[in-house]
Amino acid sequence: MRKQIVAGNWKMNKTFTEADDLVNDIMNKLESVSLKPETQLIVCPPFPFLEMVSDYSDDSYFEVGAQNVSDQESGAYTGEVSAAMLESMEIGYCIVGHSERRAYYHETDAIVAAKVNQLLKHGLKPIVCCGEVLEERESNQQFEVVKHQINDGLFHLTAEQFGEVVIAYEPVWAIGTGKTATPEQAQEMHAFIRGLIAEKYGKEVAEETSILYGGSCKPSNAKELFANKDVDGGLIGGASLKADDFIAIAEQF
């Protein structure tokens, strides 16, 4: 059975002390709720806080993910962080191809593919983001856009490699805008993505792949989004910065 995942993307927020407080709050909150056993929580703090956050959880409460990784193995790439470094810190997951990285740092599908390769080589699970911008949705190009991103970013993998991948469908017009995709829009796109995976790798692989929704997901709308059969959880930005909201979202399965 595929995993139900709620992953928090803290983006470039929090100082060290604030991050420490947030993870402390998450831990306290987790002690007073009981999540379904199949619900996997992932916390993705900024690089400098990865170790501190990992030390809290020891993998028993939540897994830890990075928000980015280099497409190169090692060497003279000032400011970059390699998959080998993340592996050496036992980081389990890494977000790749987030729309903010695609828009502000020119992360192309070829770069996404190279980053995914690095992560898989070093035993990390990529959380690969895809999604259309508003004009593409308005001109009904969303399926073509997402197909392209998945094809060029992921379909070079073998079926076995693909089994390690988590996909996050994040319509760009819904990220940080307070505008959420309707449950119908989310289900329609998730079913489309699962169909693409089935065509490429077969039904079994498609059924095992977790496909998360991202874009202004919050406690008040998570239940109706997660109730759809192809929506396997959420990638949460803003609402992951408050322990109460983050855990309340994970309780909506």
| Angstrom distance (rounded) from CA 225 to CA 241 | 20
Per the listing, tokens 């903010």 go with 100
Rounded Cα distance between 250 and 232, Å, is 11
d(CA 128, CA 107): 12
Q: For the window 105-144, what string marks contact with ligand PEP as x by the rule CB under 6 A?
A: ----------------------------------------
Angle among Cα 13, 18, 21 to the nearest 5 degrees reads 130
Is residue 233 close enough to count as binding ligand PEP by CB under 6 A?
no
Binds ligand PEP by CB under 6 A, chosen from 19, 81, 86, 236: 236
Does the CA dihedral 73-115-5-178 come out positive or negative? positive
Q: Could you tell me the smallest distance in angstroms from the CB atom of residue 215 to ligand PEP? A: 5
Q: How far is the CB of 103 from ligand PEP (least distance, A)?
A: 11
Environment class of 139 (CB within 10 Å of its CB; exposed 0-12, middle 13-18, buried 19+): exposed
Q: Which of 216, 230, 243, 249 binds ligand PEP (CB under 6 A)?
A: 216
Out of 98, 107, 132, 190, the active site residue is: 98
* DSSP code, position 179: P
Q: Which one from 100, 107, 136, 170 is the annotated catalytic residue? A: 170
Of the candidates 220, 219, 223, 221, the one whose C-alpha atom is nearest the C-alpha of residue 248 is: 219
Stretch that binds ligand PEP, among 21-29, 158-166, 188-196, 233-241 (CB under 6 A): 233-241
- Residue 196 makes CB contacts below 8 A (sequence gap 6+) with 147, 150, 151
Q: Which is nearer to ligand PEP, 82 or 240 (CB)?
A: 240
Residue 164 Cβ, how far from ligand PEP at the closest point, in Å?
20
* Partners of 22 in the β-ladder: none
120's enclosing H/E stretch is helix 109-121
- 148 catalytically annotated: no
Among 116, 175, 196, 225, binds ligand PEP (CB under 6 A): 175
Nearer to ligand PEP, 126 or 206 (CB): 126
Q: Does 215 bind ligand PEP (CB under 6 A)?
A: yes
Binding site for ligand PEP (CB under 6 A): 9, 170, 175-176, 214-217, 235-239
What residues act catalytically? 98, 170
